[in-house]
Amino acid sequence: MRRMKGKFFHLHHIFSGRYRFLWVLAGLAFFLFWFSLPEPLFDAPYARVVYDRDGELLGARIAADGQWRLPPAGSVPYKFRQSVVYFEDEWFYRHPGVNPVSLVKAALSNWRAGKIRRGGSTITMQVIRMAGGNPPRTYFHKALEIVRALRLELRYSKDSILRLYASHAPFGGNVVGLEAASWRYYGRPPNRLSWGESAALAVLPNAPSAIYPGKNRREFLRKRNLLLDKLRRKGIIDSLTCALAKEEPLPGRPRPLPRLAPHLLASVPADRPLYTSISKDLQGRILDVMRRYKSYFSANKIHNMGILVVSVPDGKVLAYAGNMPGPGKVEAGEVDVIRARRSTGSLLKPFLYAWSYGDGIILPQSLLSDIPTQIAGYHPENFDHTYDGAVPASEALARSLNVPAVRLLRSYGLEKFHDNLRRLHISTIDRPASHYGLSLILGGAEITLWEAVRLYAGMARELNRYNATGHYFTDTYDSPSLLRDTVLFGQSKVTERPVFGAGNIWFVFKALSDKDRPVEGDDWALYASARRVAWKTGTSFGHRDAWCVGVTPRYAVGVWVGNADGEGRPGLTGISAAAPVMFDVFRELPPETAWFARPDDLIRGNICRQSGYPASPACRDTEECLIPPHGERAPVCTYHRIIHLDRSGRYRVHAGCYDPQRMQTQSRFVLPPVEAWYYRRKHPSYRPLPPWAPGCNTSGEGNLGLIYPTPGVKIFLPRDFDGQRQKTVFKAVHRRPGARIYWHLDRSFLTITEGPHEVELYLTPGPHVLTLMDEDGEIKQCRFSVTDPETGPESSAKP
């Protein structure tokens, strides 16, 4: 008990009286020591950096303070770690942050010299000095470095401290950190430096203002070789490695950093590097493709281009060229056109055809009308301003014909098509269907190159995944990823509702990949290639945008060409500008031999060869072939009719005017009058129906067709620049060549035509009735109105 009381009295004595002040001082000293490190340790800004999938540098933007200081990329490479430790602080892994022996040697050297010549700093102390902004070399600051170095060792591991040193050490000029030095002096990452290169960089931070590449090369070489000899003596490298390392040349002046992906740098955070899925080699070759076309496009004052390459299976971006390399600010070269909203042109047409196949509205070979069309004042025209009369759906898609697409959209349903696009999460289609109207299919909406490639890659992926698993998945159309370590399609959920359907996509791709496909206004042979590609072009109104997107089972490539400021240029079309670039990009990709497998959801149907619809009893030439999954819903052929001819075969007859025993019965392919008139111009073998025999009643059958105007149309009175009225051209057709048509307007006779059946009229405002009659008495009437804000309504016209 006495012993315990004695101990208590001794402790009480220590913590009371004059000792209390000492404890307060000790506590204060411990507090200052514990919180002596600045927070944060380094607050200098980093450069924005983008790497490819293999850690190769794609580009960097200098830090805000004008220094090339790249974010730390990882652990310090072995060669540099050994080099810098044996040059700067051989006992680094053994001391607590301060080396007393080095401090004593430095103090004696400085005392003898009468000035500060050596610092005796460890690597840890140098980290503290750099974190403090390299303050003046005084004994006070040296003492502060010692205290903070001890504290730093308690917070960080040795490897972390060495990483801080390598990330912030000066390497001459405005090059800071090992990562920047390695790229600026050698053009490759630190982990690929040789022993000679690592040793050269290890000696630079010791005196970066006195020795750096391009200055004091003799002293630089001497220090590097001394370090290599030391590494040999310590057994880090052998004699042969040392000799070979000494033969390596010293680095020259800093080389420029790569500028392979400048448009990605704007989205990169400054505190950490962006590791992308891009292939540096492919990215460089894509930029070379751009350079080859630059002068060609510039001659037509076309200054901007974007190219995006995506891997279909995993959705990773393989190449991202946001604009033409090298254009200045005047040409808007800083604009990332991959993310810019542009008119879709014809890019949405494959989606409409795929959904129309899926609903059984048409089959791939079904004939679509291609004739002059006016719908509620909207007058679409084909790219070449011609008409085919009737054209198979697959050919209309391959040729990107506008009129069949607009008429098909009306049949499919504008609202339905718009809703389907919205379910694809196209962010740029953000207005109601009524805002776009039927022009939605011809460029009335906007899309980005990123979204376009996403959708086409999604179609390829939907087909691939169905063929591989027999299922559809909810994430098939997810956005591509630029991030190297992001995994897409890893947690896929099965859905019973496909976006397009494998069979429908297969038929669309078949049409878009046919090597014999006719191309809008140009020759397919120009783009003949060993690689099969399903590709679609697009051209916006006013020649402002030229698109081409192509897909294979492994790759999706998108190209946009134009001017970022929206200026249109003559001849700027998808087929002439974007398609050649896209095929050149595909030539840079690894070869492929496999094509999309035919899915097992196709069905067999009996199809009329001429009309492409399910055969009716009147169809004589049919074939059993594969059709889309819901092809049985398609309407049966209405183009074939059973007709009766007289014994000579020259006239049509019926039982009411001719002996049935003498009749000939035939099945004929018959188009409506307007379609037939245009169809016959490109298909000379088309046979119109024979005329009726004299005395036979035609039962009101139509041989007469009116092309323009259409019933109920509102015509705006045309005027020239001087305000003078201009003529309006009315057009009609007749099945029988040479037939005479009598024209009347508002009960007044106008003229007679015998082909071509065209009449030019000066119209006056107001309602009108146009009446046409042929020699057989067939009548065609059309009511229309003429509007002219400058005058009141009148009711006459003259030829």
| Contacts for 433-437: CB closer than 8 Å, 24+ residues apart | 437/376, 437/378
Closest by Cα among 239, 245, 163, 176 to 212: 176
Q: Mean pLDDT across the stretch 214-234?
A: 91
Element (H, E) at 559: strand 555-562
Q: Mean pLDDT across the stretch 220-242?
A: 95
CA distances from 44 to 62, 63, 132 (A): 12, 9, 11
Q: What are phi and psi of 322, to 5 degrees?
A: -75, -15
Minimum mean pLDDT range among 111-125, 135-149, 355-369, 586-600: 111-125
CA distance 742 to 88: 105
For residue 641, give the 3-state DSSP assignment.
strand
On the 0-12 / 13-18 / 19+ scale of CB atoms within 10 A, 385 is: exposed
CA distance 162 to 89: 11
Is the pLDDT score of 511 beyond 70?
yes
Alpha helices in 561-626 (DSSP H): 579-587
Residues 6+ apart with CB under 8 A from 715: 709, 728, 763, 784, 785, 786, 787
Q: Mean pLDDT across the stretch 153-170?
A: 92
CA distance 39 to 35: 9
Question: In degrees to the nearest 10, what's the CA dihedral of 106, 108, 111, 117?
Answer: -30
CA distance 442 to 574: 13
Q: What percent of the chain has pLDDT over 70?
A: 88
pLDDT of residue 16: 57
At 720, list the tokens. 């020239």
Is the pLDDT score of 11 beyond 60?
no
pLDDT of residue 506: 98
Tens of pLDDT, residues 291-317: 999 989 999 999 999 999 999 999 999
Closest by Cα among 73, 281, 49, 54 to 190: 73
pLDDT of residue 755: 72
CA distances from 125 to 131, 147, 198, 382, 550 (A): 10, 9, 22, 76, 58
Question: In degrees to the nearest 10, what's the CA dihedral of 468, 474, 480, 483?
Answer: -90
pLDDT of residue 616: 93
CA distance 500 to 358: 7
Q: What are phi and psi of 197, to 5 degrees?
A: -70, -40
How high does pLDDT run on average in the chain? 87
What is this structure's pTM? 0.84
Q: Which residue has the higher pLDDT, 646 or 796?
A: 646
* Contact between residue 532 and residue 389 where contact means Cβ atoms under 8 Å apart: no
* Contact between residue 585 and residue 559 where contact means Cβ atoms under 8 Å apart: yes
CA distance 691 to 645: 10
pLDDT of residue 454: 98
pLDDT of residue 333: 80
Element (H, E) at 203: helix 195-203
Closest by Cα among 93, 129, 122, 83 to 106: 122
Q: What percent of the chain has pLDDT over 90?
A: 55
* Contact between residue 63 and residue 71 where contact means Cβ atoms under 8 Å apart: no
CA distances from 27 to 15, 38, 76, 148, 152 (A): 13, 20, 37, 17, 19
CA distances from 184 to 59, 150, 245, 266 (A): 12, 33, 20, 21
pLDDT of residue 798: 42
At 531, list the tokens. 């690689």
Is the pLDDT score of 794 beyond 50?
no
Q: Mean pLDDT across the stretch 361-374?
A: 94
Is the pLDDT score of 763 beyond 80?
yes
pLDDT of residue 460: 98
CA distance 692 to 670: 15
pLDDT of residue 132: 82
Around Cβ 747, how many Cβ atoms within 10 Å?
7
* Contact between residue 286 and residue 309 where contact means Cβ atoms under 8 Å apart: yes
Q: Which residue has the higher pLDDT, 612 or 748?
A: 612
Strands 704-708 and 741-745 come out as unpaired
Closest by Cα among 729, 713, 723, 790 to 763: 729
Residue the block writes with tokens 């809008």: 520
Residues 6+ apart with CB under 8 A from 130: 42, 165, 168, 169, 170
| pLDDT band of 374, cuts 50, 70, 90 | confident
Tens of pLDDT, residues 45-102: 889 999 999 989 999 999 989 999 988 877 899 999 999 999 988 889 999 888 787 6
pLDDT of residue 776: 65
CA-only gyration radius of the chain, Å:
40
CA distance 146 to 98: 6
pLDDT of residue 211: 75
CA distance 797 to 764: 6
Tens of pLDDT, residues 706-750: 888 888 888 887 776 666 778 888 888 887 777 888 788 887 767
| pLDDT band of 104, cuts 50, 70, 90 | low
CA distance 48 to 50: 7
pLDDT of residue 701: 63
